Structure 1
């Protein structure tokens, strides 16, 4: 870059003007307005199902936008450009992981939840294994969600305060209050429609950054060339070593387990797909959502390339202008968009829209879980009709309570930034594996019994906590290190000039560090975070099935087939029946299940589970009938 390009290094915080504040505030006002609209429109509805599932009358397009916005939080918007800046473009293989996850979730897991007609996905565990499995998994989900939402609320606010001067506590309180308000007012309908609005704001903000930022890099093509010359453009790292931070296998395969957890068995996702009137529309929404995911990930990766091209000769963290790499994007925005009135406000609205969508979805999901998994069983045991009369009121009260609790978690995180913030960032992946593994053990392996399920969950959770805490406390070096950064272009007195080692010398020093005497466990702690969910899932399934066989496995022909997924029929429908039959592991699909009455304790309507299968099929399973989304029983 020539000298005129270095004028971007102002050495001061960008200024957030009146127009920026107005546009930023409008995003919050619009979200609240949607909540008031749906609260007024649905003022006569009293069923909790209307609050948590939108009356099962939602449209696939807003649901798909909501799915994209929910699982691409403000952490994604801030973290992905920083990841590309620091470690290169290998992270973009996450797109393949998303494709794998959406395909498996839409056609293997979603049909099971949709046909069960349940509000909380953890109801499945009681139907399959018993109350203990349901209780321990829902508890972990609550902890996982509260900590993650606290981080989503705190981390972006901290990053933006450091660069823009926007009040940390003001933005945290405002975000939490608005989220709680509109989620309480309108429930799932409001969450889905505000997510759709917030997704549009996210795209607009990212496009503004990429367009305006490319001007400072003399065009995106030039930015790409600069990043390529400095080793940031890399797509062909095929190292099979699981310790490699980002390789094709690590990101595309390892990452697919994490995204499969999000889109297959996560409570927020289950509520969304069950808000649609038919299973076919639920699958359409899942696939449409993939377009939004790819768009956001592509834009954030492109922004990372542009940021590196602009700051390539003066790394802002080393120079002392910002404290952490997750502040790179806000700094870049204030140095570029900040000169055009309103554009910085659009970007800040973009970042907070990512946070709003994630937090509102979490509040609604936790409200459903608390009501369905804890309060309703108590009310049913006491033969109380409280929920029949005041179900929606109780749901709204729970949202408010969860809003206060998640804000408390954010405050706690802010007090222990040296440890808890780092831990909470990886907590989601660590805790996702045991929960996902239990769903897999239940839906795919009919022999799993209650003892095996609980044992698999506990062993997997303990193992993953050991891995996560060990890595956090020991912090072993390598084998993947950030790419080199430079400060030779820092010509401002506010920057600290630092001389960096040449890449070859840094590599030699890394080799020396890796060869020093160290505990054997360090190699274990170096496993890439992308494998965490997959590893936890495999351990949970293995232990669950093993313990089940040791303690008296469940007979496949006694399993309620509604709780199982004919995975091989779904994946390989063209295989001969003689091959597919043994791959059903003895489960008889399409028969009338004698356990339906027991499962009806949860208030489920047995008519919903009318036989979807062709009784004339030789072995009781017609896979085309299994996929019939037009069955009248699903048009609720």
Structure 2
């Protein structure tokens, strides 16, 4: 019986057919793109799709890239445990899209770069998390060996990345985005039928405190408030979309700047739709399990298995539908992993190999691109093992990006907006920023915040068949491998510094990098005061408002011939 606890059904033959069909579809797209582009083996075609992509497929690819299996697995569990506050990220997506489209994209598109000097360790670790999340789900539903599933995921991604390049990645993302959304719709539709309609689900969520999303408490130590999500979330997502190699690679693959900008705004709508469906799936799950929480009842081992458990509990009677859900989780994974592999390949080739090996032919470069794809695919599979000890996949993934991308965003902003800055200041600021974010992030893993700061909502097991009606309230759930033995006395920093909301990691890293970067630059460099020419500005926003823009103190090591010539001509 549904929602009464105990074991649930496992995969049927039709579920395996649907799941395998999705995986083969992704591989087929890679093979098709390889055959279609067999005459053009240039690095530009492999890494940038020949710069002929249009807005809509790129937008869907942008959405699918970071709305990964982590979103499919983690966001519904987040809404179930903590309520619908995660929906407030819709504000963050809007702010991020505007900043990236109007400030960063014009610069990167004008430069026509292939690499943004992405820090590869952050990408590899995040990709390991992405592989681990749906593998855990498939292991829960089917009983297949966890590491066997991890390796199979990586192999499929390596296959179509190696054969088809960026075009294969983007068009596969389009397919996978559709499958992801279909998985959410299937869960919500079946839940609505069981519970008596969407209105009943909404009422249950309200009565269970799941709709109290607008918490305006300014306390930066509280995990999710309006301010941590809108301010911290905006900076974090901007760091992901503005300078992340896999995202920038998509912008500059567009045929025009207009298409590149439009792709971000269409992507914003895609993010809204995806997060809304994911959160409502979590509310549906709460409506069904409000009297029998599977985690408290011992039916599952981690909160990341909540949605897979629900799928097998309510959809097992419909052959093929559980397979669709697992395909949805895997579609997000394949999208993100393939994006990361393609991005890592681009960075390594452009920044390390081509500057040293300048006489390589296009054919040799293409073979090296394929070899790098295989190498980084294998590396990401290995990092999935590290991901298994990092706790809730959703928070772990966003924490990784906050810790790494925040200081990187600060470094980019330092160079883009402050001609005062120099390389010594930028490097020093970024190192200090990384030290602080890694310190607070790792400290938070060792000494998790208390329930008072994370505020998990009430659950119950009174409706479970194999319990005696015990209520569980204010639970603090952790994943296996993330259970930390607490000392008798927590250090003083545990309930202050280490309890900082993970959404502020990026803000901390960005501000630290910029402040220390400017200070060190002013100390180490001689200073003068030239004008900044329009062609040297970061965005067409400035070009529309100012002809010449005095930017204050400048490092004498920087010589802007165009600006100097223009200034001299004006004086004459």
| TM-score for the superposition, normalised by structure 1 | 0.81
Contact 2:73 2:305 in 1 (8 A): yes
The Cα of 1:497 is off from its aligned counterpart by 4.9
The Cα of 1:108 is off from its aligned counterpart by 0.3
Q: 1:8-407, aligned counterparts within 5 Å?
A: 8-9=3-4, 11-122=6-117, 138=118, 141-379=119-357, 384-407=358-381
- With over 3 angstroms needed to count, the CA separation of the structure-2 counterparts of 1:556 and 1:288, relative to structure 1, is farther
Does residue 487 of structure 1 match 2:461?
A: yes
- With over 3 angstroms needed to count, the CA separation of the structure-2 counterparts of 1:199 and 1:454, relative to structure 1, is same
How far does the alpha carbon of each residue in 1:415-453 deviate from its partner, in whole angstroms, 9 at most, with x for none?
x56799986662222111111110110111111101100
CA distance in structure 2 between the partners assigned to 1:250 and 1:38 by the alignment: 42
Does residue 540 of structure 1 match 2:513?
A: yes
How far does the alpha carbon of each residue in 1:370-391 deviate from its partner, in whole angstroms, 9 at most, with x for none?
1111111212xxxx41154522
CA distance in structure 1 between the partners assigned to 2:352 and 2:110 by the alignment: 23
- With over 3 angstroms needed to count, the CA separation of the structure-2 counterparts of 1:245 and 1:421, relative to structure 1, is closer
CA distance in structure 2 between the partners assigned to 1:517 and 1:188 by the alignment: 48
The Cα of 1:498 is off from its aligned counterpart by 3.0
5+ residue gaps in structure 2? Answer: 476-488
CA distance in structure 2 between the partners assigned to 1:259 and 1:169 by the alignment: 31
CA distance in structure 2 between the partners assigned to 1:417 and 1:517 by the alignment: 20
The Cα of 1:394 is off from its aligned counterpart by 1.2
Contact 1:441 1:544 in 2 (8 A): yes
How far does the alpha carbon of each residue in 1:143-178 deviate from its partner, in whole angstroms, 9 at most, with x for none?
111111112112321233123424423322221111
CA distance in structure 2 between the partners assigned to 1:404 and 1:90 by the alignment: 36
CA distance in structure 2 between the partners assigned to 1:502 and 1:73 by the alignment: 29
Contact 1:464 1:532 in 2 (8 A): yes
Q: 1:498-517, aligned counterparts within 5 Å?
A: 498-500=470-472
How many residues align structurally?
551
How far does the alpha carbon of each residue in 1:551-600 deviate from its partner, in whole angstroms, 9 at most, with x for none?
11565638786554158637xx5x7x5xx96565489xxxx96499xxxx
- With over 3 angstroms needed to count, the CA separation of the structure-2 counterparts of 1:203 and 1:110, relative to structure 1, is same
CA distance in structure 2 between the partners assigned to 1:233 and 1:103 by the alignment: 28
- With over 3 angstroms needed to count, the CA separation of the structure-2 counterparts of 1:342 and 1:103, relative to structure 1, is same
The Cα of 1:10 is off from its aligned counterpart by 5.3
- With over 3 angstroms needed to count, the CA separation of the structure-2 counterparts of 1:496 and 1:546, relative to structure 1, is farther
RMSD (Å) for aligned C-alpha atoms: 2.9
Q: Tell me the residue number matched to 2:417.
A: 444
Q: Tell me the residue number matched to 1:511.
A: none
CA distance in structure 1 between the partners assigned to 2:15 and 2:317 by the alignment: 11
CA distance in structure 2 between the partners assigned to 1:448 and 1:227 by the alignment: 51
- With over 3 angstroms needed to count, the CA separation of the structure-2 counterparts of 1:90 and 1:544, relative to structure 1, is same
Q: Tell me the residue number matched to 2:523.
A: 550
Q: 1:617-636, aligned counterparts within 5 Å?
A: none
- With over 3 angstroms needed to count, the CA separation of the structure-2 counterparts of 1:279 and 1:353, relative to structure 1, is same
How far does the alpha carbon of each residue in 1:99-145 deviate from its partner, in whole angstroms, 9 at most, with x for none?
000000000011111111110012xxxxxxxxxxxxxxx4xx21111
- With over 3 angstroms needed to count, the CA separation of the structure-2 counterparts of 1:20 and 1:496, relative to structure 1, is farther
5+ residue gaps in structure 1? Answer: 1-5, 123-137, 504-515, 597-614, 620-636
